[in-house]
Amino acid sequence: MKIFASGPSGPIEELQPLVDAGHSVSFGRLQTQPNRKAYTETELSIACLDAHVLMTSHLEPVTKNVMEAANALQLVIVPFIGVDRVDLSAATQLGVAVANSPTVENFISVAEAAIGFSLILLKRIKYNEGRLRAGLWGGLHDRGDLLYQKTFGIMGLGRSGIEVARRLSPWGVELLATDPFVDPQIAAQFNVKLVDLPTLMKHSDVLSLHATVTPETTHIINEKTLAWMKPQSILINTARGTLVDEKALFDALQSNRLGAAALDSFEVEPLNVDHMLRSIDPTRLILTPHNVCQTQAGRRSGIALAIEQILCVAKGQLPKHLVNPQVADNWRGQIHTHSNKEIT
């Protein structure tokens, strides 16, 4: 097969197993390059014109036009979890399988980041560091708070949410979660009480978002739902930016109707230099550039899982972590019955 990796995040030698298996691998713009720019739609269409597999990066939008131009394309794969940049509807229509690489390292990293954000804000670490660097010292009014005996809410008890619960279960906190699809027995294993959305938001001292983006969850954090939260509560988003109405969050923080927040993802990325959220006191709003959950261990495991799935496609099998299962009936990998020898 011909494989085009549009933006490898590490050494190109990491894809050597594909070459060793007899496949042709070409590389685009390495993410390690300074000031690396995303491909335009036209550039990406040309670059993967005869590719059977496109391993894409966080930056490139994989549009219908790209997939139509690459008429031999059988698989678009990301060596991470998010497939936000891929037009899934068009892929399914065109018979292109789309897969991601959800590894345990990623879910653990998300959980650690969410808990870490919570502790930084509760302990007022940024505030007190700022005072110290300004030549001041701590006083009674500078003290933080405990997570112990607080109520920690989890919106979305999937793989990331479960890892949060797993870690906090022995910490002496009350764990609440809302998720219409979770097995109550799984929640019970980690001492999580399942509740509805209003109850979750009204009772949580810390609310951590781990939901997927659907029409129902887009802007689920909005003016109405933020008004349900306690005035000193904390909102954490290490999931997807579109879960949060950023203007509503800005207003809640500005008016002190919300205590603090931490965001690692945004509705539009990169975050505009003049975005209103940048003006909020950084001791109350932590902003990170959608990388707080990224680790070298997670990156390597994601690459390995992506390679494993590409090799499955080379054998005429759909990938293990297919995100558009509806493609099975008209998958190009079945329609174009190439042998490995013919397409290497």
Q: Where do the domains of the chain lie, and which CATH numbers do they carry? A: 2-100+295-343 (3.40.50.720), 104-287 (3.40.50.720)
296-343 pLDDT, tens digit per residue, is: 999 999 999 999 999 999 999 999 999 999 999 999 987 554 444 343
Q: What is the mean pLDDT of the chain?
A: 94
CA separation for the pair 214, 149 (Å, rounded): 32
Higher pLDDT, 38 or 121: 121
- Alpha-carbon distance values, 125 to 131, 132, 234 (Å): 10, 10, 14
Backbone phi, then psi, for 185, in 5-degree steps?
-70, -35
What is the per-residue burial (b if ≥16 Cβ within 10 Å, else e) of 281-312? Answer: eebbbbeeebebbbbeebbbbbbebbbebbbb
CA separation for the pair 135, 126 (Å, rounded): 14
Task: Please confirm, yes or no, whether 269 is among the known catalytic residues.
Answer: yes
Tell me what pLDDT residue 125 has: 97
Task: Please confirm, yes or no, whether 240 is among the known catalytic residues.
Answer: yes
Query: Does residue 137 have a pLDDT over 50?
Result: yes
Tell me what pLDDT residue 99 has: 98
Radius of gyration for the chain, computed over Cα atoms and rounded to the nearest angstrom: 22
150-183 pLDDT, tens digit per residue, is: 999 999 999 999 999 999 999 999 999 999 999 9
Tell me what pLDDT residue 338 has: 43
Output the CA torsion sign for 230, 235, 239, 244.
Answer: positive
Asked if 3 and 310 touch (Cβ cutoff 8 Å), the reply is yes
Q: What percentage of the chain carries pLDDT values higher than 70? A: 97
State the average pLDDT over residues 6-33: 92
Task: Please confirm, yes or no, whether 68 is among the known catalytic residues.
Answer: no
Query: Does residue 77 have a pLDDT over 70?
Result: yes
State the average pLDDT over residues 98-124: 97
DSSP reduced 3-state for 141: helix
Active-site option among 23, 52, 210, 240: 240
Segment among 35-39, 121-125, 262-266 with least mean pLDDT: 35-39
Global confidence as pTM: 0.89
Active-site option among 124, 290, 321, 332: 290
Question: Nearest 5°: CA angle at 320, between 212 and 16?
Answer: 110
Query: Does residue 344 have a pLDDT over 80?
Result: no
Tell me what pLDDT residue 336 has: 56
Tell me what pLDDT residue 335 has: 59
Active-site option among 36, 143, 269, 278: 269
54-76 pLDDT, tens digit per residue, is: 999 988 899 999 999 999 999 99
Query: Does residue 246 have a pLDDT over 90?
Result: yes
